[in-house]
Amino acid sequence: MVLEENDSDSVFEPHITDEHVETQYGDVHCVMTGTVKPNRPVILTLPDVGLNHKSCYESLFTHEDMQEIVRHLPVCHVEAPGQHEGAKTLPAVYTYPSMEQISEMLPDVLKHFGLRSVVGMGVGAGAYILAKFALDHPDLVDGLVLFNINPNGESLMDTVTNKITDWTHTLPDKILTHMFGKDEIQTNHELVATYRHYITTTMNQSNVSQFLRSYNSRSALEMERPPLGANTNVKTLTCSTLLVVGDNSPAVEAVVECNSKLNPTKTTFLKMADCGGLPQVDQPAKVIEALKYFIQGMGHLSSASMTRLRSRTGSGSSTASHEGPRSRAHTDELQRGRTHSHGAEKHGHTHTSMENVSTVNQSASKSTEVAC
């Protein structure tokens, strides 16, 4: 379904439903914005540990450029048990679900709202849950936008580190070091203070502690990059996937590793220059640019509706080089990086404008790494 430009001409006043949905592992808080239509997917979000849908996504979804998307695609914000604003402390008899069990709550959410398919958007722990959901229920997921995903399980070293951190750090400190790198914590005092305030004043500390414990006990996602040209049935994500990470994020290495495990013909890796642990908060306009082209590439936004975005983005020339360094001066250009696939290193780097992202998922023979 391609949406026509005249769909966006009228004043947009979405219908909002706020409710708790019962699942086999407990209730989850959901906020549905917009009207579900049978021929359009729904954007389903999950926030990171320590955040709710407002503190994680409000900067993105209230941005004026995002309205072009949300007027066409409904949004369902989902929060893990006890992770919504003002949540009461979970009962002592309640066993907090594992990350795998939380992912199995999502089919119940889709059934409750009558959703046939979703474009998942997750940050950190939310990204992990959505990736697990897509691996187990590929027929329910049209695409994934994953920020700061770590596909790995907890190693022995991680276990020791977490034990020491439990003794020496408060819960807000543990969450902040999960979200932000050392440099950002030391230099971006206002942002870090804002999120410390969110964590301590809007979230139930006991519930967050249980969610964090569940996240730190996660198992590795079972994914393997399929060999190019080989007809093998290796397990990996089958939907179009956009990986996003800031170049100053503590999650960079984990996201790079995740990219190496995904199908290169269906994956775009966006590494954002001069950006920290929360790209959707730090640089929402650039995230939205990439998101629009990603959704357009899936066939859910028409070319006509992208006119204003293209005029602002501008076009970039396509030039090939082999080892040229990335230039952060060209902040409106995307840069196709080296593939992690075997036998594809000979192609080197190719610079391309934002307009070309929409065709990446259909035509690329390797994973595409972009920087902006």
Q: What is the full DSSP assignment across 332-367?
A: TEEEE----STT-GGG-EEEEEGGGGGGHHHH-SS-
pLDDT of residue 70: 93
Q: Is the distance from CB of 225 to CB of 366 less than 8 angstroms?
A: no
pLDDT of residue 348: 34
User: What is the per-residue burial (b if ≥16 Cβ within 10 Å, else e) of 196-233?
Assistant: bebbeebbbeebbbbbbebbbebeebebebbeeeeeee
pLDDT of residue 163: 59
d(CA 144, CA 130): 8
Q: Is 232 helix (H, G, I), strand (E, B) or coil?
A: coil
Q: What is the side-by-side order of every strand in the sheet holding 118-123? A: 16-23, 26-33, 75-79, 42-46, 118-123, 141-147, 240-246, 267-272, 368-371
Please provide residue 125's backbone torsions phi and psi, each rounded to the nearest 5 degrees: -60, -40
Q: Is the distance from CB of 173 to CB of 182 less than 8 angstroms?
A: no
pLDDT of residue 39: 85
Is 0.85 topped by the overall pTM? no
For the chain, list the domains and their CATH numbers.
5-155+218-371 (3.40.50.1820)
Give the CA distances from residue 310 to residues 49, 355, 372, in Å, rounded to whole numbers and listed in that order. Answer: 35, 7, 15
**Tens of each residue's pLDDT in the chain, 372 residues:** 444 444 444 455 678 899 999 999 999 999 999 999 888 899 999 999 999 999 999 999 999 999 999 988 999 999 999 999 999 999 999 999 999 999 999 999 999 999 999 999 999 999 999 999 999 999 999 999 999 999 998 755 655 555 555 555 699 999 999 999 999 999 999 999 999 999 999 999 999 999 999 999 999 999 999 887 666 678 899 999 999 999 999 999 999 999 999 999 999 999 999 999 999 999 999 999 999 999 999 988 765 455 455 544 443 333 333 333 333 333 333 433 333 333 343 333 333 334 344 334 444 445 566 666
Q: What angle, rounded to 10 degrees, do the helices at 106-113 and 125-136 form?
A: 80
Q: Is the distance from CB of 363 to CB of 356 less than 8 angstroms?
A: no
